[in-house]
Amino acid sequence: MKAPPFAYRRAENLTAACALLDAHGGNARILAGGQSLIPTLNLRLSQPELLIDISQIADLRGIRVGANEVVIGALTRHVDIERSADLARLCPTLVEAARHIAHPAIRNRGTIGGSIALADPAAEWPAAALAFNMTFTAASSKGERTLSATGFFKGLYETALEPGEVLKSIHVPLPAAGGKAAFGELTRRSGDYAIAGAFVNANLSGGRLSGVRIAFFGVATQPVLAVGAMQALEGTGGDAAALSAARARLEADLDPIADLYNSRATKLHLSGVLLGRLVAKLFA
């Protein structure tokens, strides 16, 4: 199938992109890497009148290390994260996760901003944003605002971005001393979307976990902070009893939807298995 007809404008800068969004309202869509939007058009699931191509706005690209955070431009591609020496040093879990996104051809074009704005419940970056307590900068013709990842993902492909807003940057807090993180996902084949995946992020001091954040993907209609499991692990040494309590809380935390191959019960079971592996990694 081919995409329905649409007009195309390349925005030279963020101001121009926002002005085009204002002028065309709900009939326009931002085009970043095109790795999700173009297939959607080809399948005629979406029929915008105008595509606003932001892919050449250099200011939206790149990874910059600040005093307390790493700032990732929305147009930074998955492959740029995969190859970033700064992230490998400071947030290696993100580098590891990037390697699990689709295949190299898609990682060469797809962007972190596109993934977060799309909010696919099975995607890696939205869950990473929750686990690492990231914040986002959104820009519009009215100015800029900061949004927390917690509360940003509202439902299936639904976010807190307002009409007329462009996601500009993603802010990753630098880990504190003793910061530990782990990532894992279970897939049928390499490159597939995960059946279940998770990020665990915590501080480890004196053999005890604190500030535990656990985010799952692929197991609900949106990425999920597993609040019950987080509470069960907080202050513990990640021992068998704590882990068993955390696993038991997943039933209330997650709301898996059966797919062609996996029932709800299977997804819940796999999420518990994954949690055990990731907590063990924190102590490795």
Ligand X SMILES: Cc1cc2nc3c(=O)[nH]c(=O)nc-3n(C[C@H](O)[C@H](O)[C@H](O)COP(=O)(O)OP(=O)(O)OC[C@H]3O[C@@H](n4cnc5c(N)ncnc54)[C@H](O)[C@@H]3O)c2cc1C
Give contact residues for ligand X (rule: CB under 6 A): 29-37, 39, 74, 101-102, 106, 110-111, 113-115, 117-118, 120, 123-124, 166-167, 193
Decide whether 5 or 206 has the Cβ nearer to ligand X.
5
Decide whether 29 or 213 has the Cβ nearer to ligand X.
29
Decide whether 93 or 111 has the Cβ nearer to ligand X.
111
* Residue 16 CB, nearest approach to ligand X (Å): 14
* Residue 208 CB, nearest approach to ligand X (Å): 33
Q: Name the residue whose CB lies closest to ligand X.
A: 110
Decide whether 143 or 206 has the Cβ nearer to ligand X.
143
Decide whether 110 or 238 has the Cβ nearer to ligand X.
110
* Residue 101 CB, nearest approach to ligand X (Å): 4
Q: Encoding tokens for residue 55? A: 């892919």
- CB–CB of 96/115 below 8 Å? no
**Measured between alpha carbons, how far is residue 211 from residues 8, 101, 110, 114, 223 in Å?**
46, 27, 31, 29, 19
- CB–CB of 197/217 below 8 Å? yes
Helix/strand/coil (H, E, C) string of 12-43? CCHHHHHHHHHHHHHHEEEECCCCCHHHHHHC
* Residue 123 CB, nearest approach to ligand X (Å): 3
Counting Cα atoms < 13 Å in the Cβ hemisphere of 112 gives: 31
* Residue 277 CB, nearest approach to ligand X (Å): 19
- Give the Cα separation of 218 and 178 in Å (integer): 29
